[in-house]
Amino acid sequence: MREIISVHVGEAGIQVGNAYWELYCLEHGLALDGTLTPTHQEHKVLPPTTFFTATKEGKFVPRAVFVDLDDCIFDEVANGPFCDLYGPDALISGEGGAANNYARGYYSAAGDLIDAVMTEINKVVEVCETLQGFMLFRSLGGGTGSGFGSLLLERLSADYVKKPKVEFAVYPGSKLAASDLEPYNSVLATQSTLEYSDCTFLLDNDAIFEICQRNLDIPQPTYTQLNRMIAQVVSSITASMRFHGSMHNDLSEFQTNLVPIPRLHFPLATYAPIISAAKTSHEKTNVSEITTACFDIQNQMVKCDPRQGKYMNSCLLYRGVIVGKDVDSVIATLNDNKTFKFFDWCSKEFKAGICSAPPTVILDGNIAKVKRAVCSLSNTSAIVQAWSRLNEKFDLQYSKSVNVQLYLDEGMEECEFTEAREGLAELEKDYAELSGDVFVVLDDSPVFPARGSYSFARDIIDETAIMINNLEPYNSVLAAHSTLERSECTFLLINDAIFKIC
């Protein structure tokens, strides 16, 4: 058996975890105390030990560790419906929380807790036959999720170098309570995501909030409703690892199938159908219809426009009552559709996987039970739009030094801000270069104050880029050949420099 350990960090990581384990229990015929219910007979197989440990008493315990720097959420877990589900040592808390501050989560409040968490994780690893890897759930905007989550990812990478780490990261939105520090926390947290995660699925709270409003008719969705939506997506992504499926049977396959360039590891997840329980009987959900819906921008877990980017790959994970030849015909139609733009160097083909286990829903929840669903995972350069939005928010505050001191007071050095921001500027540049857009990073110069220079540079480049065509670097290098050989003296007139002077 190849086991996966789920690690839930901070409030969002834990609450998403509650929704995810609640759904897994239902899908595998378990009661919320981990005992088998009569419905498990339907499944004819026991819950997968990839995700659950079977105890001698006949219970199934999630292979999961939950950690938060404050203990409020654990009171809720201890007194709520999940009180008998998780292992006795699975919940680890600190005191006082990280106060929405990455630096508290990474430095001052992490203290001995990181060792306690690693000890617990090692204990869970010891009872595994062959560990596959880790799934990490956290928010990028919270102090614990961003700071402690980054420290933990770093430690997991050091101690379990070769084991894949797949991350589900809540991306901050504006529709639900958000702190002013979230752009800083998120940018700081991406350092670890870029370096230590093998594949990160972003869960954009604003996108999911709007899906709940539009598709599920919930005027003011709560976190619980968002988390149940997220749980459906995570469940589809992991269905092949829990039931028999033809694709993504192993954590490392996400990397192999979706991440051709290690740093560009942020596939966009889209899910369909998302129908409210009240509307279920009116909606059609055949393979072709759900596939079309799956490419609807409104069903994406991250707000971005794939038409403005190119695909490196895209796979569709079907589950439920699915006829293989319907999928073949839909995939053939997709492959003939020229509106989907792929990079020249990739295979330009949609892939599909089928898992026969149908989607399950929480009783009395808002999501309708359907016979089949599809989740598409696409590595598209359009995801850069999410990073650009975050960068703009960061720059707006950092250029005025807003709240920077709060981080320095917790032991963080100021250069971490610039390093993290430059890391994301590099990421934007990687996507732009891949797309063939011209992107020149100007060195810091006296013209620009050091702080925020990258964003000023980007603004200027955005303006000049419209005058540059993609072939100019090739043309210039080819022309330089004659210049080097035949010209006695060449004065370079660099448009960007003159633009800047003007």
Task: Name which of residues 10 to 39 contact ligand GTP (CB under 6 A).
Answer: 10-12, 15-16
**Which phi and psi (to 5°) does residue 275 adopt?**
-125, 140
**Crossing angle of the two packed helices 10-27 and 72-79, in degrees rounded to 10:** 20
Angle (CA) 459 464 465, round 5°: 95
> Toward Mg ion, which CB reaches closer, 15 or 236?
15
Tell me how far apart the alpha carbons of residues 441 and 429 are, in angstroms, rounded to a whole number.
8
- Interface pick for Mg ion out of 3, 11, 22, 428 (rule CB under 5 A): 11
| Minimum gap (Å) between residue 142 Cβ and ligand GTP | 2
Binding residues for ligand GTP, rule CB under 6 A, total: 26
Phi, psi of 356 (to 5 degrees): -80, -10
Binding to ligand GTP by residue 100, rule CB under 6 A? Answer: yes
- 139 makes contact, choosing from Mg ion, ligand GTP, none, with CB < 5 to 8 Å by partner type, with ligand GTP
Contacts of 263 (CB under 8 A, 6+ apart): 194, 427, 430
CA distance 268 to 300: 7
Which residues 293-352 are close enough to bind ligand GTP by CB under 6 A? none
Residue type, 145: G
List of residues 6+ apart from 440 with CB closer than 8 A: 457, 461, 496
Task: Give the binding range for ligand GTP (CB under 6 A) out of 4-12, 306-314, 337-345, 436-444.
Answer: 4-12
Binders in 151-190 for ligand GTP, by CB under 6 A: 170, 172, 176, 178, 182
CB of 226 to ligand GTP, least distance (A): 4
How big is the CA angle at 452 (ends 446 and 456), to the nearest 5 degrees?
75
DSSP H or E run through 434: helix 415-434
Among 76, 195, 253, 416, the active-site one is 253
Q: Which of residues 73-102 bind Mg ion (CB under 5 A)?
A: none
Give SS3 for 369.
coil
Q: Give the alpha-carbon dihedral of 487, 489, 494, 495, to 10 degrees.
A: -70
Question: With CB cut-offs between 5 and 8 Å by kind, which of ligand GTP, Mg ion, none does residue 227 bind?
Answer: ligand GTP
Part in contact with ligand GTP (CB under 6 A); list of ranges 135-143, 232-240, 424-432, 488-496: 135-143
Q: Which does residue 164 touch among ligand GTP, Mg ion, none (CB within 5 to 8 A, set by kind)?
A: none
Residue 170 or 316 having the CB closest to ligand GTP: 170
DSSP secondary structure letters along 89-141: T-EEE-SS--TT-HHIIIIITTTTHHHHHHHHHHHHHHT-SEEEEEEEEEESS
Which C-beta is closer to ligand GTP: that of 3 or that of 410?
410
- Residue number of the CB atom closest to ligand GTP: 142
Closest to 188 (Cα-Cα) out of 443, 408, 499? 408
| Beta carbon of residue 107, minimum distance to ligand GTP (angstroms, whole number) | 13
- Collapsing DSSP to helix, strand or coil, 378 comes out as strand
CA gap 429, 374 in Å, rounded: 32
Residue 42 is among the residues annotated as catalytic for this protein: no
395 binds, among ligand GTP, Mg ion, none (CB under 5 to 8 A by kind): none
Interacting partner of 226 out of Mg ion, ligand GTP, none (Cβ under 5 to 8 A depending on kind): ligand GTP
Q: What is the distance between the alpha carbons of residues 3 and 48, in angstroms, rounded to a whole number?
A: 9
145 is an interface residue for ligand GTP by CB under 6 A: yes
Least spacing, CB of residue 22 vs ligand GTP, in Å: 13
Q: Does 227 bind ligand GTP (CB under 6 A)?
A: yes
Window 439-478: contact mask with ligand GTP (x via CB under 6 A)? ----------------------------------------
Which phi and psi angles does 68 have, rounded to 5°?
Answer: -145, 145
Q: Which of residues 341-360 bind ligand GTP (CB under 6 A)?
A: none
225 contacts: CB under 8 Å, gap ≥ 6: 212, 216, 218, 366
Determine which residue in the list 132, 205, 232, 313 makes contact with ligand GTP, applying CB under 6 A: 205
SS percent in the chain: helix, strand, coil, step 5: 45, 15, 40
Q: Is residue 143 a contact point for ligand GTP (CB under 6 A)?
A: yes
94 is a site residue for ligand GTP (CB under 6 A): no
* Residue in 53, 139, 150, 418 binding ligand GTP, rule: CB under 6 A: 139
Could you list the residues that contact Mg ion (CB under 5 A)?
Answer: 11
Catalytic residues: 253
Could you list the residues that contact ligand GTP (CB under 6 A)?
Answer: 10-12, 15-16, 68-69, 97-100, 139, 141-145, 170, 172, 176, 178, 182, 205, 223, 226-227
